[in-house]
């Protein structure tokens, strides 16, 4: 899931479209019609212009808009994550749910102890979302690697390589030697691909475990006096693990490589 830098919200737009503002403006129009006078409407328009000039600049209004947009964004993200869970196996879905449970516990404790400033907690909510997204990215990549990994063991492929090498060394007929050489190259490539996928799978598991450990560690740190930089700690954990893109590129390159030469 790629990071997207969202444009800043239009506070003027939110000031105008807020339901309270629209109700007052509509009420002024209704009074103008009811009393057959333009004065209520003109007063409403004047008040509207004053509100649009002052309201969007108020820190309290901006904080209210930011909080509402955050809530909407996080709700949409949760819906998307819930939909993605259907594509995981039961075991992997439970594993993701455990990470989500740790995230919920972390936020609840931070709010209960009131040690994290509200602005910092808001940033931490986005950090937790990104951590869970990253965890899900690694899970989907692990699914792909598992699907690409052969059921044939390395030992069986190594045995086949040795057999073809022996046949190639004993054969003297040129056409047959070329056929054996091609078969040998194909098996050697399969073996190399399998070894690479197994290495990637080990790296995937290490990173998944690192993300699983990160949240319980942060829950423990909440009790430390003066601990407030929760979002920075989450960012550091994500930076240390890295995105799944690097390993995904390694998988792509594994199957784009030319046939191994003998």
Summarised one tens digit per residue, pLDDT across range 53-109 is 776 777 776 776 667 777 777 778 778 888 788 888 899 999 999 999 999 999 898
Could you tell me if residue 49 is inside a domain? yes
Q: What is the pLDDT of residues 182-208, one digit of tens each?
A: 999 999 999 999 999 999 999 999 999
71 and 139 both lie in a single domain: no
pLDDT value at position 27? 75
Q: How far apart are CA 16 and CA 19, in angstroms?
A: 8
Instruction: Please name the residue ranges forming H helices in 55-173.
Output: 59-85, 90-113, 118-148, 154-170
Residue ranges making up the domain that contains 37? 9-87
Read off the DSSP letter of residue 7.
P
Q: What is the pLDDT of residue 140?
A: 94
Predicted local confidence at residue 51, as pLDDT: 66
Max CA distance (Å), the chain: 109
Q: Give the total number of structural domains in the chain.
A: 2
> Residue 240's closest CA among 262, 197, 209?
209
Residues 135 and 197 in one domain: yes
Over 90: is that where the pLDDT of 238 sits?
yes
Tokens of 189: 């490539």
Residue pair 87/142 in contact by the 8 Å Cβ criterion: no
What does the CA dihedral 181, 184, 190, 195 come to, rounded to 10 degrees? -120
Any domain includes 193: yes
If one compares 33 and 211, the residue with the highest pLDDT of the two is 211
**What residues contact residue 219 under an 8 Å CB cut-off, 6+ apart?**
102, 105, 106, 109
Same structural domain, 20 and 80: yes
162 shares a domain with 83: no
Domain endpoint, select from 61, 87, 113: 87
Same-domain status, 239 and 167: yes
Q: Say whether both 147 and 246 belong to one domain.
A: yes
235 and 119 inside one domain: yes
Are residues 69 and 95 both part of a single domain?
Answer: no
Is residue 260 pLDDT above 60, yes or no? Answer: no
């Amino acid at each position: 899931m790629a990071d997207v830098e969202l444009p800043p919200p239009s506070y003027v737009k939110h000031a105008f479209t807020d339901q309270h503002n629209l109700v007052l403006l509509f009420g002024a129009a209704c009074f103008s019609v009811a009393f057959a006078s333009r004065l209520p409407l003109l007063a409403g328009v004047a008040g509207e212009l004053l509100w649009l000039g002052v309201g969007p600049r108020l820190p309290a209004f901006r904080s209210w808009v930011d909080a509402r947009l955050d809530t909407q964004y996080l709700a949409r993200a949760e819906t998307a994550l819930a939909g993605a869970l259907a594509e995981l196996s039961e075991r992997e879905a439970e594993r993701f749910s455990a990470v989500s449970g740790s995230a919920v516990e972390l936020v609840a404790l931070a709010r209960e102890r009131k040690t994290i400033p509200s602005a910092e907690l808001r940033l931490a909510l986005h950090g937790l979302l990104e951590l869970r997204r990253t965890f899900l990215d690694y899970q989907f990549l692990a699914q792909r690697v598992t699907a690409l990994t052969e059921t044939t063991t390395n030992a069986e492929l190594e045995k086949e390589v040795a057999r073809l090498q022996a046949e190639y060394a004993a054969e003297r007929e040129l056409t047959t030697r070329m056929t054996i050489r091609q078969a040998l190259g194909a098996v050697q490539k399969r073996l190399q691909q399998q070894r690479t996928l197994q290495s990637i799978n080990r790296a995937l598991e290490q990173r998944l475990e690192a993300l699983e450990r990160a949240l319980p560690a942060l829950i423990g740190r909440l009790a430390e006096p003066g601990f407030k930089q929760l979002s920075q700690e989450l960012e550091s954990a994500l930076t240390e693990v890295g995105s799944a893109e690097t390993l995904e590129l390694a998988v792509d390159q594994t199957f784009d490589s030319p046939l191994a030469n003998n």
